[in-house]
Structure formats: C-alpha cells, structure tokens
Amino acid sequence: MATPILVVEDEPEIRELLAFTLSRASYDVVEAESSEQALQLLDRGIPELAIIDWMLPNMSGVDLARRLRRDELTQSMPIIMLTARGEEADKLRSFESGVDDYVTKPFSPRELLARIKALLRRSGAPADNILESGGIRLDLNSHRVTIEGELVHVGPTEYRLLELLMRHPDRAFDRSQLLDRVWGRSVYVEERTVDVHVLRLRKVLQPFKLQHLIQTVRGVGYRFSPQ
Ligand code: CA
C-alpha cells in the first residue's frame, strides 16, 4: 500500500481528476464527497495528507480543517486547501484555519504533486517510502519487513503497529492512542489487545535480539527506541 491521501471534494469531476492525478503518482487515494464523510473515513485510519476543497456542502472545508487541527489524531496531518478563489483574505483565512498550503482551482497537476511532495517531506514521511531504523527496514510500498537484511513475516496488525512506532521514534504512545491509530476509532477493541500484538512483534524481533527496541513505558504504553 502506497502513501494514503484523503481527498475531500463534492464536485465529482474534480474529485475524479484529483484521484486520477494522485493514483498515477502512486498515491493511495481515499475519496470523500463531504466533510461528514471525511470524518467517518478518518475514524478508520489516518492518511498521510489531506486535500480539502474550500466549498463543501454543510460543513465547509475551512471548518473541517479547523476541526482536524483540534483533534489529536489529525493535528499534524498536512492539509492542502483547494480554493476557487484567489483573494488574499480567503488565503489568509484558510491559513488561519490551520492548513499548510493551498492550491487554486483550476489546478495544475504538476504543481499540486510538487506541493504534496514538499509537505510530505516536511511532515517526516520517508521520501522513497522506506522507513529504516535500528536494523529494521520497512518498505511502505510492498509492506515488506527486513531485519538485518533478512526478510521476515509480520502480520498486518503488527506491521501497522511497527510502522506507527518507527515513524515516531522515542515517542511513548498509550494503549488508546495505539488503538485509535492502528485499529481505527470505529472499531471496538479491548486495550489488552495492544499488549498481545506488541508481544507478537517482539517475538519477530527476538531472533535478531532486537526485542528491546519496543519498550514498555510503565503506566503509559509503548515506544520504539532505536538507541
Ligand atoms: Ca466544491
């Protein structure tokens, strides 16, 4: 699975054009036609970036952006606002709502892709889709995991858990944060499920004596520490 990007646009032609442009550039496109639908999709998983149209029915793109900025899960997700207007006041308002960049419609696909790339680089997403740390290498395109040069089998949940932890080295996540990010908010899973999957992950790392990379943070949860 490639880098997921959420597209929120109510006009079908523009949404299709965006989806086409992004999938041709090997992004994984998640489409929503309203802010409400976008919020539902976000409960199932957090994309790497969101492209939000300013003019949406009901909840506007600006209001959606504000809401995403207030939510801990989506706080740091880069947002590009699509706007049909070129007025300074509107650009200013969209920046105030917490968006990282804006693109005026009709947009140039090349310019949009360049802006996406720049934002993903800033947000710490690996440019070549390879995440490497502490002897572990994750290929985010193929979902293959290599440890010290050896290909290992990792279950889908363990993979997502490992990817999340490796993307945020030395950050402690509590169990509910891990559940929201790895399983999604829409799924009800007991907190101790996290422990089961951490245990499985450590078992994968054990033959390489790397199980200590996933540390238990007492009273909190877990963290990935490559040191
Ligand atoms: Ca629109």
**Same structural domain, 71 and 42:** yes
The structure tokens 């976000």 sit at: 42
Q: What is the CATH number of the domain that holds 82?
A: 3.40.50.2300
pLDDT score of 126 more than 80: no
Centre of ligand 1 from the C-alpha of residue 9, in Å: 6
pLDDT tens, residue by residue, 72-85:
889 989 999 998 76
Centre of ligand 1 from the C-alpha of residue 52, in Å: 9
Q: What is the CATH number of the domain that holds 161?
A: 1.10.10.10
Residue pair 197/214 in contact (Cβ under 8 Å)? The answer is: no
Centre of ligand 1 from the C-alpha of residue 11, in Å: 5
End residue of a domain, out of 76, 91, 122? 122
Centre of ligand 1 from the C-alpha of residue 71, in Å: 23
Structurally, how many domains does the chain consist of? 2
What is Dmax (Cα atoms) for the chain? 59
If you average pLDDT over residues 206-219, what whole number do you get? Answer: 96
**Same structural domain, 71 and 161:** no
End residue of a domain, out of 92, 122, 152? 122
pLDDT tens, residue by residue, 150-164:
999 999 999 999 999
pLDDT score of 91 more than 90: no
Average of per-residue pLDDT values in the chain: 91
pLDDT tens, residue by residue, 129-152:
889 999 999 998 889 999 999 999
Centre of ligand 1 from the C-alpha of residue 198, in Å: 43
Centre of ligand 1 from the C-alpha of residue 162, in Å: 37
If you average pLDDT over residues 7-27, what whole number do you get? Answer: 96
Centre of ligand 1 from the C-alpha of residue 119, in Å: 23
The structure tokens 């310019």 sit at: 111
User: What is the domain extent for residue 179?
Assistant: 127-224
Centre of ligand 1 from the C-alpha of residue 177, in Å: 33
